[in-house]
Structure 1
Amino acid sequence: MNASRGPVPCCNAVIQRTVEQRESAHNDASVARSRRTGGSIMTAITWVLAADEHRARIFETRGLKVDLQQVEDIRNTAPARSDASGKDRETFARAIAAYLEQARLQHRFNRLRLAVDARFLGVLQACLSSETRMLVYDDNGNGAVSGQRYVERR
C-alpha cells in the first residue's frame, strides 16, 4: 500500500459538503440576526434605562454611537411622595420589567444598561425575567443618580 495517496476522493466530497452546510447554517443565522436587529450584523441596539422609584426613561442607541434617542417615559402612578412605599416601588418595578420583557420578545434591543437609583435597583432586578437579565451588560447603581440628572438636563 502506498501511504502518500492522500484522502480518499469520496471522503473529500463528504467533508466539503459538511463544511458548506456549516457555512450555510452560520450565514443563515447571521442574516436572521441582522433582520431582527434591523440592520448590519455588527449593529447592536442598546437600551439605557435611567430610573428611580418615581420615573423610568428608556433611551436607545445603535452600534457604538453615543446619540441617545428616548424610547419611552414611564411614570409611577402612585401618589407622589418623597419616599414611595415598598409596595409602590415593587408595583412600579413590575411595570418596568413587563415593558422590558415585551420589548425583548419583540427583539427591540440586544443589550440593556441599567442606570438605576441604588435604592430601586434591587427591587427592579428581582422583577426582571432571567432572559432580560442576561441582556444586562452594566447595572451601575452607584452613580445612577448623577447619571440620571445628566439625562434629565438634556
Structure 2
Amino acid sequence: MFKRLMALAAVTATLMLAGCGNDYGVDQHGQKVASERLDKQWKVINYWAEWCGPCRVEIPELNALEKQLQGQSVGVFGVNFDGLQGKELSDAATALGITFTVLAQDPAEVFDLPRSEALPVTFILDEKGKVRAQLLGEQTAAGVLAKLKELKGS
C-alpha cells in the first residue's frame, strides 16, 4: 500500500511540474520557444499561408509591429494555417520575409482560439491568455497598435 501511495505521489508531482509553463514547441528556425516568451504578456497571434495574397501584404506590417513593440510586454507570433513543419515552415517564412517568431505548434488549443476559415486572421490575447480581439483580414501595424492601446486601456 505504501509503495502504491509513493508511486502515485511521484506521478502526481511529475504531472504538476510538467504543467508549469506551457510548452510552445519550436519556431521556424527549429529553436525552442520558451514559455516566458508567451506567458504573462500580451500576444498578437497571426495565422497566415503562402497562398494567401492579403497575408503577403500584411507580413511587412507585422514585421514592423514587432519592432515597434520591442521592450514592451507584447509579443508578435505567426502560425502557418496549413500546418507546415520543419524545413517547409522555415522555407515558407523566409520566402515571405517573416522576421517575427512563427510557432510550428499551433497554440489554438492552449489559448482556446476559434478556427477561422478566412485568412489572414489575427488574435490579440491579454497577459492571461484570454482572447480580447479577433481581427479578420489584412491588418496594419498602426491599426493593431491602436487596438492594443484600446484593449489595454492606455
Q: Shared fold by TM > 0.5?
A: no
If asked which structure has higher relative contact order (CA below 8 Å, sep 6+), I would say 2
Q: TM-score, normalised by structure 2?
A: 0.33
Q: TM-score, normalised by structure 1?
A: 0.33
Structure with the larger helix share: 1
Tell which structure's C-alpha radius of gyration is larger: 1
